[in-house]
Amino acid sequence: MIRTRHEALTILGLGVGATSQQIKEAYKDLVKKSHPDVTGSTDATAYNRIVEAYQFLLKDNEGKVLTHSKVVGKTTKRTTASNADYSAFQKKAAKAKQRRKEEFERKQKEFSAMYEKQESDYKRAMEAIDAIRVARAIQSMVWANGLEKDPNEKKD
């Protein structure tokens, strides 16, 4: 991609002070010499580069006053966004912000639900562990007092 006027002029083999007429002539000559049909090559990169340079120079010269040797100055022509464009941009940005907010709230609810489920599972597990501990404590007390079996029960 061509970024400067100097680069485009160099591709066309011209100096910095080239006039629009010189640019046009150099373009026509180079296009005739490097066209893929003329060269017989399937590689059109050189041709495309020349065309790109010429198009860049055409765009670069828009809004500039040319003399036959150099660019004198730019006009004050500006393209600005209209109020409708700005309004459409604001609406689009507001919708995107609302979507992000809704997505955040949804994820927050999912996380809260997952956290509450883990908490309830943990409470149930702890209650089960406490019940087991109480049962073992009662069993130990029964065994310590020798009351493990009913005394009226017959032995085999």
Q: Is the pLDDT of residue 111 over 90?
A: yes
Let me know: does 8 contact 60? Beta carbons within 8 Å: yes
Q: What are the pLDDT digits (tens) for 16-51?
A: 888 888 888 999 898 888 888 888 877 788 888 888
The answer to whether 25 and 13 are in contact (CB under 8 A) is: no
In this structure, whether the domain defined by 5-74 belongs to CATH 3.20.20.70 is answered with: no
What percentage of the chain has pLDDT greater than the value 70? Answer: 80
Cβ neighbors of 23 (< 8 A, separation 6 or more) are 9, 12, 14, 54, 57
Name the more confident of 4 and 79. Answer: 4
Residue 52, class by beta-carbon neighbours within 10 Å (0-12 exposed, 13-18 middle, 19+ buried)?
Answer: middle
What three-state secondary structure class fits 95? helix
Nearest one of 21, 25, 22, 43 to 34, comparing CA atoms: 43
Q: Between residues 82 and 31, which one has the greater pLDDT?
A: 31
Contact 2, 8 (CB under 8 A): yes
Instruction: Tell me the H-state helices in the chain.
Output: 5-11, 20-34, 36-39, 45-61, 83-144
Domain boundaries, the chain: 5-74
- 110-129 burial, b at 16+ Cβ within 10 Å, e below that, comes to eeeeeeeeeeeeeeeeeeee
**Is residue 54 a contact partner of residue 7, using CB atoms and an 8 Å limit?**
no
Which burial class, exposed, middle or buried, applies to 148 when counting CB atoms under 10 A from its CB (0-12, 13-18, 19+)? exposed
β-bridge partners, 74? 64
pTM of the model: 0.40
